[in-house]
């Protein structure tokens, strides 16, 4: 899973990035500071993986990962050159979801305006998609009328998208457009699931700010700077501080947990003496496609999946015991992989 962090200048993108990833990327005290993107990989906390690892005692234990990209610069055409916007878009196209950081702290004497900030960024996403659509529609119309090539169905979908975007709306609320395979290649930003991070000052009363958000957007409140400071302490120290401040879970785990839920992601496991590993897939993924996450050869040569649920395996104490109890199943290509499945794929190459 890959998450792109976006937001207005000085909303705290890099601060939140540091909080989430334990990085120490440079935050800036003025608007329009450092512009280079920051990238980091974070392990998804999962107690099941630890239990499986204790059972198999493998050489290597590999948690599922989330990649975070803090894109740095602004998407707004007002304060960025087209070339730098293209560069940002290139970084954002592949991400599975956007985290939109909204300022809820005083900055350089300016009071926070979270609703306005959210609306402004939402328009940037819509505007960026509109630019893409307009260019493409123009080209496709020419191709279709003059050269008799190009897909009229694609044009029709793009024209619908243009209408929605012209009306100032994000594409994510229109799944028939946002998820159509013909448009997937455009990776429209406003079609991506969006998680708003309300980046609150240290003393903020949780829940005090309510935002009006469009469909398909959820909000998580974080104290970015505080969480960043905590992320730079040792686990034990951070735990003590958390208890003191009445914070239960780290920002990282809250965001990862919520984004998993929100994006409809689940984990399955592969186990063995060499490696115990967690893999991320979307809910409702059939077994061969899940196998493809491990390697495309396993998907192509898929024969069967040998499946036992995490609960059955741990309950039985070993794979052999689970098998004796009749809880290891052989599943075919239509099997829908479930959260916590422990799978051994059988395949031909
Ligand atoms: N009080 C407070 N200040 C913050 C918070 N997050 C960021 N800042 C400050 O806002 C400024 C910009 O932060 P930065 O992370 O560089 O924002 P970016 O431009 O969006 O990447 C810095 O001076 C930060 O210290 C926060 O949660 N609380
Ligand atoms: Mg920054």
Q: CA angle at residue 123 from 256 to 21, to 5 degrees?
A: 25
| CA 101 to ligand 1: nearest atom | 20
The Cα 263–Cα 132 span in angstroms is: 25
Q: Which residue's C-alpha comes closest to atom 9 of ligand 1?
A: 12
Residue 79 pLDDT level (bands cut at 50, 70, 90): low
Question: What's the pLDDT tens digit per position in 235-283?
Answer: 899 889 888 887 778 877 888 888 888 888 999 999 999 999 999 999 9
Whole-number percent of the chain with pLDDT over 90: 72
User: Does one domain contain both 315 and 250?
Assistant: no
More confident position, 340 or 145: 340
Q: Residue 293 is part of which domain span?
A: 284-347
The Cα 38–Cα 25 span in angstroms is: 7
**In-domain check, residue 268:** no
| CA 18 to ligand 1: nearest atom | 15
List b or e across 126-153, with b for residues whose CB sees 16 or more CB atoms inside 10 angstroms.
bbbbbebbeebbeebeeeeeeeeebeee
**In-domain check, residue 267:** no
**In-domain check, residue 271:** no
Are 305 and 330 in contact by the 8 Å Cβ rule? The answer is: yes
CA dist list (Å): 46 to 43, 134, 277:
9, 44, 11
User: Does one domain contain both 36 and 108?
Assistant: yes
Are 122 and 211 in contact by the 8 Å Cβ rule? The answer is: no
Q: For residue 219, how far is its CA from the centre of ligand 1 (angstroms)?
A: 18
Question: What's the pLDDT tens digit per position in 63-75?
Answer: 999 899 998 777 7
Q: For residue 38, how far is its CA from the centre of ligand 1 (angstroms)?
A: 15
Question: What's the pLDDT tens digit per position in 327-342?
Answer: 999 999 999 999 999 9
> What number is the average pLDDT over the span 132-145?
92
Question: What's the pLDDT tens digit per position in 186-242?
Answer: 999 999 999 999 999 999 998 999 999 998 899 999 999 999 999 999 889 988 988
Number of domains observed in the structure of the chain: 2
Residues sharing a CB contact under 8 Å with residue 130, sequence separation 6 or more, in sequence order: 162, 165, 166
> What number is the average pLDDT over the span 26-40?
80
CATH number at residue 61: 3.40.50.300
SS3 206: coil
Q: Is the pLDDT of residue 94 over 70?
A: yes
Element (H, E) at 277: strand 275-282
Residues sharing a CB contact under 8 Å with residue 151, sequence separation 6 or more, in sequence order: 140, 182
User: Does one domain contain both 205 and 335?
Assistant: no
User: Does one domain contain both 249 and 293?
Assistant: no
**In-domain check, residue 65:** yes
Q: For residue 19, how far is its CA from the centre of ligand 2 (angstroms)?
A: 13
Q: Which residue's C-alpha comes closest to atom 7 of ligand 1?
A: 12
């Amino acid at each position: 899973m890959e998450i792109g962090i976006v937001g207005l200048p000085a909303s705290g993108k890099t601060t939140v990035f540091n909080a989430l990833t334990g990085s120490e990327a440079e935050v800036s005290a003025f608007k329009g500071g450092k512009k280079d993107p920051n990238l980091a990989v974070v392990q998804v906390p999962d107690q099941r993986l630890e239990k499986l690892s204790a059972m198999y005692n493998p050489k290597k234990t590999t948690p599922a990962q989330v990649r975070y990209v803090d894109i740095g610069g602004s998407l707004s055409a007002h304060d960025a050159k087209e070339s730098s916007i293209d560069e940002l878009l290139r970084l954002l196209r592949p991400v599975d979801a956007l985290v939109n950081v909204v300022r809820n702290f005083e900055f350089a004497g300016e009071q926070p305006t979270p609703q306005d900030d959210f609306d402004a960024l939402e328009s940037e996403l819509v505007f960026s998609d509109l630019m893409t659509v307009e260019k493409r529609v123009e080209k496709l119309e020419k191709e279709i009328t003059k050269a008799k090539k190009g897909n009229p169905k694609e044009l029709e979908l793009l024209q619908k998208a243009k209408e929605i975007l012209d009306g100032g709306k994000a594409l994510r609320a229109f799944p028939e457009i946002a998820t159509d395979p013909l448009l997937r290649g455009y990776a429209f930003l406003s079609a991506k699931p969006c998680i708003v991070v309300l980046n609150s000052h240290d003393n903020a009363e949780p829940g005090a700010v309510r935002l009006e958000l469009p469909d398909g957007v959820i909000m998580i409140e974080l104290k970015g700077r505080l969480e960043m400071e905590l992320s730079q302490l040792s686990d034990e120290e951070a735990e003590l501080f958390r208890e003191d401040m009445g914070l239960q879970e780290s920002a990282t785990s809250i965001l990862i947990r919520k984004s998993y839920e929100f994006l409809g992601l689940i984990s399955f496991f592969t186990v063995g003496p060499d490696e115990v590993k967690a893999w991320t897939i979307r809910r409702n993924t059939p077994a061969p496609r899940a196998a493809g996450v491990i390697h495309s050869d396993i998907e192509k040569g898929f024969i069967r999946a040998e499946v036992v649920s995490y609960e059955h395996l741990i309950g039985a104490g070993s794979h052999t015991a689970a098998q004796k109890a009749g809880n290891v199943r052989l599943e075919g290509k239509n099997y829908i992989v479930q959260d916590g499945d422990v799978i051994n794929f059988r395949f031909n190459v």
